Chains A and B, each alone.
Chain A
Amino acid sequence: MATETDGAGESRFPSEPQHTTGRDLAGLAIALGLFALAILIWWDASSYPARRNYAQVGPEIFPYVVAAGLVVFGFLTVRLAILSEFPERSEMNWPPVGWIVGAVVAEITLLSIGAGFILASGALFGLSARGMGRRPVWFTILVGVCISAFLYILFRHGLGLSLRAGPLERLIDSPFRR
């Protein structure tokens, strides 16, 4: 499967391990994740207190079914990984992904320390636009703050959505209050 590529295949590192060994380690990691999830669900379900009723079964039955299914497909995933039957993956471009994850983390942090929606959302916009290749970062954040301020007014005062208020928001809110 790895040999008959067109276009996308040319960008690949020639030394990518899963295609030289024929085994897909990332695929095995996915299978491991599925097993872990199944164990978690099984462990949780086994802790429910026993109930007697007409159905003969309680809230634990469906978790058991789901856990069993995950185990079955975990094994099938192992098979997929060993046979290298996952579709082609193009070369991973880490920096933009890092920027975007960082952007969401920044928004979460800013919101929890009470900086308010506009600053938090502006940081998200700015950092993710930077991640997708727009520079400089102070400019993208400035654009983000302006857009977020507009969205705040539109959704807070136009549609009544509750958005976290910080110092900036209180400043904007004051003319709306009489």
Chain B
Amino acid sequence: MDTFSLLLNGLAVAAEPMNLLFALIGVILGTAVGVMPGIGPALTVALLLPVSLSFGATGSLIMFAGIYYGGMYGGAISSILLNTPGETASIMTAVEGNKMARDGRGGKALGAAAIGSFFGGSFATLGLAVVAPFMVMVALSFGPAEYFALMVLSFMTVSAAFGGSIIRGLTALFLGLAIGLVGIDKLTGQARLAFGVAELRDNISIAIVAVGLFAVGETLYIASQKHNIGEKVEAIKGSVWLTLADLKRCIKPYLRGTLLGFSFGPLPTGGAEIPTFLSYSTERKTAKGVAKEEFEGPKGAIEGVAGPEAANNASAAGTLIPLLTLGLPTSATAAIMLAGFQQYGLQPGPLLFTNNPDIVWGLVASLFIANVMLVVLNLPFVGVWVKLLMIPRPWLYAGILTFATLGIVGAEGSVFALVLLLAFGLLGFLMRRFGYPLAPVLVGTILGPLAEEQLRRGLMINRGDWTFLFTSPIALTIYAIAFAAVLGPVIWRAMQPKGANTAFAMDGD
């Protein structure tokens, strides 16, 4: 079947009333959480991971994708009105967007952001549908050596791209690999690092690790800070609807942003940070006339909102390409979504496309629907979301903790799971405090056991001969990319002016 008919089938799956409902819940939750400063899509997906077990595979994956996209939309709102980006992807939006809000053109900035998100998200999802089948064809020829190389690529890039230091990133990765070791070994039945505890023998649930590190750890980290940044919410002034003249100014930034986001999203460079940054600087450099004045003055230019917003949504779609076709997460949210797949015994990769086409194409089709829902939710109802910025922090974080433990208690059914949750929360807190990125822990925990399986299967086929790892040209190419991906960000950071580095030291969403 060709892509088009597969996509039509997917559309039929996505249009089922229950799935539409899940998409709607996803985009509403995603936007709501994306709006709140300091809470990104990764945390939201992690929180909902255990609860969603009762929703069924297709439904909960559709919901997760909705959360991911919604988080990207919502992030723009807090960036523009509050100047505190909800996640790293919106940092560049805050620069011009907040200037526009203070200049009384906040409505226009929000409008440009919402339409840009729609534009970037829709076109990149189309790209995803076109590119994914080709990736699947390539991936079908992969054996243990290639898969092991791919996982090494994922380990290296996730560790190198997030956070300020490669040493801390790789340390976090090895912590994750250690967590992944706990439990019964799949090939021999040997219990590892269980110390006679029954709950440890059947593996530590990825939900506990994710919720502990992201939700509990983040809450502790925020609580530990004495001085909170003075937060001032700008009122929305002016209409959110763009005039024809505004649209004319935005169309080129939209196109460039989408292209940048879509081409950087699948690369393991850590999500949306680099494409949004590149998009912003492109718009700034090419600005002429009024736009140039607005970029340089205190007024704020609409192009500087339009480009990065298109880029960050396009990169969200791009991220799904390696996730779905290779099982390779390139951002923290993607890593948690991978855990979501595994929760249902699904392993993303070429086989998912042949064995569960309904799920894959239903997911892709629902992304289009989610985008339409989001632009409707964000243009006329933007005022409702702004109210969420006003929730007092004690209630907000108490609620997050309550929800986190509810999910874990409900899904695991044991009090010991809560003890583990607290332990991972404290670990996450310590890591945040000392500048360790959290995403590599998760990727290590999830991919570690898979990498081990491929390695030992390969060794079994080759009778213990380790050289099989380095004889396949595809595997060697992948190692070369891994090497470049580790060095690339180092060179990239070295080229940036000093102030820009702080943006990249944050945790990637």
Show the binding face of A for B, using Cβ within 8 Å. Answer: 8, 11, 26-27, 30, 34, 37, 40-41, 44-45, 48-49, 51, 53-59, 61-63, 66, 69-70, 73, 76-77, 80, 85-87, 89-94, 96-97, 99-101, 103-105, 107-108, 111-112, 117, 121, 124-126, 128-134, 140, 143-144, 147-148, 151, 155, 159-164
Contact = CB atoms under 8 A, between A and B. Distances in A.
Contacts of A49: 190
5 contacts: A54-B460, A70-B174, A124-B402, A148-B402, A162-B410
B425 interface: yes
Given A87-B505, A104-B405, A73 B167 contact: yes
Contacts of A27: 434
Contacts of A164: 409
B504 to A, nearest CB: 12
B398 A125 contact: yes
B174 A73 contact: yes
Nearest to A127: B398
Contacts of A40: 193
Contacts of A128: 219, 394, 397-398, 401
B53 to A, nearest CB: 8
A58 B425 contact: no
Interface stretch (B280-288, B316-324, B415-423): B415-423
Contact of B225 (A26, A54, A90): A90
Nearest to A99: B223
A62 B398 contact: no
A77 B459 CA distance: 32
B18 to A, nearest CB: 14
Nearest to B409: A163
Nearest to A121: B402
B171 A56 contact: no
A89 B178 contact: no
B497 interface: no
Nearest to B194: A44
Chain B interface: which size bin?
35 or more
Nearest to A41: B178
A62 B181 contact: yes
- Tell me whether chain A's interface is mostly helix, strand or loop, or mixed: helix
Given A59-B190, A66-B174, A111-B418, A121 B405 contact: yes
Contacts of A56: 459, 463-464
Contacts of A140: 394, 398
Residue of B54, B174, B181, B505 with most partner-chain A CB within 10 A: B174
Given A104-B405, A129-B397, 7 more contacts: A40-B193, A69-B174, A73-B171, A85-B165, A97-B220, A97-B429, A163-B410
Contacts of B452: 62
B226 A161 contact: no
Contacts of A58: 188, 190
A80 B169 CA distance: 13
A132 B174 contact: no
Contacts of A163: 406, 409-410
- Chain B interface, >50% SS class: helix
Interface string B431-462: 00111000000000000100010011001110
Contact of A57 (B178, B418, B459): B459
A103 to B, nearest CB: 7
B234 interface: no
A140 B402 CA distance: 13
B223 A100 contact: yes
A60 B62 CA distance: 39
B192 A63 contact: yes
A97 B428 CA distance: 13
Contacts of B433: 89
A16 to B, nearest CB: 13
B164 interface: yes
B426 interface: yes
B51 A155 contact: yes
A158 B405 CA distance: 18
A78 to B, nearest CB: 11
Nearest to A158: B54
B413 interface: yes
Contact of B192 (A44, A90, A134): A44
Given A62-B452, A87-B164, A104-B421, A132 B51 contact: no
A108 B223 contact: no
Given A55-B460, A61-B456, A111-B418, A30 B405 contact: no
Contacts of A37: 175, 178
Contacts of A160: 54
A112 B403 CA distance: 19
A124 B415 CA distance: 14
B493 interface: no
A9 B455 CA distance: 47
Given A53-B460, A54-B460, A69-B177, A101 B405 contact: no
B434 A86 contact: yes
A113 B392 CA distance: 32
Given A77-B171, A161-B51, A161-B54, A134 B223 contact: no
A48 B190 contact: yes
Interface in B164-219: 164-165, 167-168, 170-171, 174-175, 177-178, 181, 185, 187-188, 190, 192-193, 216, 219
B402 A151 contact: yes
A39 B170 CA distance: 18
Interface string B149-167: 0000000000000001101
